[in-house]
Amino acid sequence: MTRDSTYEPRTLTWRRRGLLMSTPPSKPWSLSHAALPTVEELDDGRMALYYSPRDALGRAHIARAQLSLDPDGRLSVGAHDREPALRPGPLGAFDDNGVSISCIANSTAGTLLYYTGWTLGVTVPFYFFAGLAVRPVGAQAFHRVSSAPLLERIAGDAYLTASPWVLEEDGAWRMWYVSCERWEIVDGEPRHYYHLRYAESSDGMTWRRTGRVAVDFADDREYAISRPCVIRDKGRYRMWFAARGESYRLGYAESSDGLHWDRDDSSAGLQPARSGWDSEMLAYPAVFERGQLKYLLYNGNGYGRTGIGYATADEEA
C-alpha cells in the first residue's frame, strides 16, 4: 500500500469489556437483533444509544435508550424509549422494508439522524439508500426531511447508497458512505460489491458527490465494506469500518485530509474472540471518547443478533 511520508499506523489496544446489551427489549417492532450501535452525545453530558432491532417480518426499526458511564469507565444501558425513533416508511417508499441507524449529527436545524432505508428487489434481493430525519430544536420526535432518499441514484452511484457517517467542521459538512459499484452472480446468487465513497455539503442536507472512493476493496475476495465511523484525533482522521470476504472483520484507515486514506486493517485493534458471541464476525464499529478512554461499540455474530459489545483503549501501541 502506498502511504504518505507522514503516515505511521496508530494502533489502539482494545480491551474487551463484554456485552453491553445481549437482546433488545421485546416489543412488536423489536423482537431480535441490536445492530449498528450509534452514540448521541447530549448537551448536558448525558449520552443516548441508538441501534436497529428487527420485527417479526425482519424489518429494521431505529430504537433509542439511555447510555450511562460509571466512575470506573463501565458503560450500561438504561431505559429504552417505548416507541421507535424512526419506523419503516410508507408502502412503496425507498425505506418501506426497514430503517437502519447510521449516524447522529447536530445542526442549527436540530438533530440530524442519518439512516439507511431498505426495500425489496426482484432481480436482486434488496435495495437500500441513505435517508435523513430531523428532530427540530426543542422537539421530541424525528421526522423525515423527504419521502425520497438523501442520496438517490446518480451516474456515480447507480446501484445503491447507504450508511453515511457525517462530520461538521467549521460550517463544512463531510460524509463517508457506502456505495455499490456493481452486482455479480456468484455461485448462482446475486452478490453486491460496495465500498466507501466521499461527499460534501454546506448544510448537511444537500450533498455534492463526485464518485471519489475513500476506501476500496483490499483484494478480489472482499466484496462489502460496511458503515464507516470517522473521528478527528490528534490532527488526523481515523476511520473504523467492517469489511467482508468470508465474514466481517474490523478494518481501519487514517488520513491527513479526509480525502486520501491509508488503509491498514492490522491497526483496527480487535480480532474475533476464540469463542462466544463475537467469535464469528465483528461488524458495525462506532468509536467515541470520554475522559481518558476511547470506547468501541460493535456487533458480533449474526449482524447484531447476539447483541452489542464494547471495548476500551487508554493508550496507543
Q: What pLDDT score was predicted for residue 1?
A: 38
Q: What pLDDT score was predicted for residue 80?
A: 97
What cell numbers appear for 307 in the block? 447483541
Q: What pLDDT score was predicted for residue 44?
A: 82
Is 9 domain-assigned?
A: no
Tabulate helix, strand, coil % of the chain (nearest 5).
0, 55, 45
Measured CA to CA, the distance from residue 144 to residue 142 in angstroms comes to: 7
Q: What pLDDT score was predicted for residue 6?
A: 56
Count up the domains in the chain and report the number.
Answer: 1
What range defines the domain where residue 40 resides?
Answer: 16-312
**pLDDT tens track of the chain, all 317 residues?**
345 545 565 678 899 999 999 999 999 999 999 999 999 998 888 999 999 999 999 999 999 999 999 998 999 999 999 999 999 999 999 999 999 999 999 998 899 999 999 999 999 999 999 999 999 998 999 999 999 999 999 998 999 999 999 999 989 999 999 999 999 999 999 999 999 999 999 999 999 999 999 999 999 999 999 999 999 998 899 999 999 998 999 999 999 999 999 999 999 999 999 999 999 999 999 999 998 899 999 999 999 999 999 999 975 54
List the helix and strand counts (H, then E) for the chain. 0, 21
Q: What pLDDT score was predicted for residue 43?
A: 82
Is 317 domain-assigned?
A: no
Closest among 184, 190, 185, 181 to 225, alpha carbons compared: 181
Tell me the CATH number at 280: 2.115.10.20
Instruction: Please report the DSSP string for 164-215 in residue order.
Output: EEEEEETTEEEEEEEEEEEEEEETTEEEEEEEEEEEEESSSSSEEEEEEEEE
Full strand arrangement of the beta sheet holding 126-136: 99-107, 110-120, 126-136, 143-144
Q: What pLDDT score was predicted for residue 315?
A: 57
Is 8 domain-assigned?
A: no
- Judge whether 202 and 108 are in contact, CB under 8 Å: no
Q: What pLDDT score was predicted for residue 8?
A: 62
Is 7 domain-assigned?
A: no
What cell numbers appear for 237 in the block? 482522521
Is 295 domain-assigned?
A: yes
Is 3 domain-assigned?
A: no
Is 27 domain-assigned?
A: yes
Q: What pLDDT score was predicted for residue 2?
A: 42
Is 50 domain-assigned?
A: yes
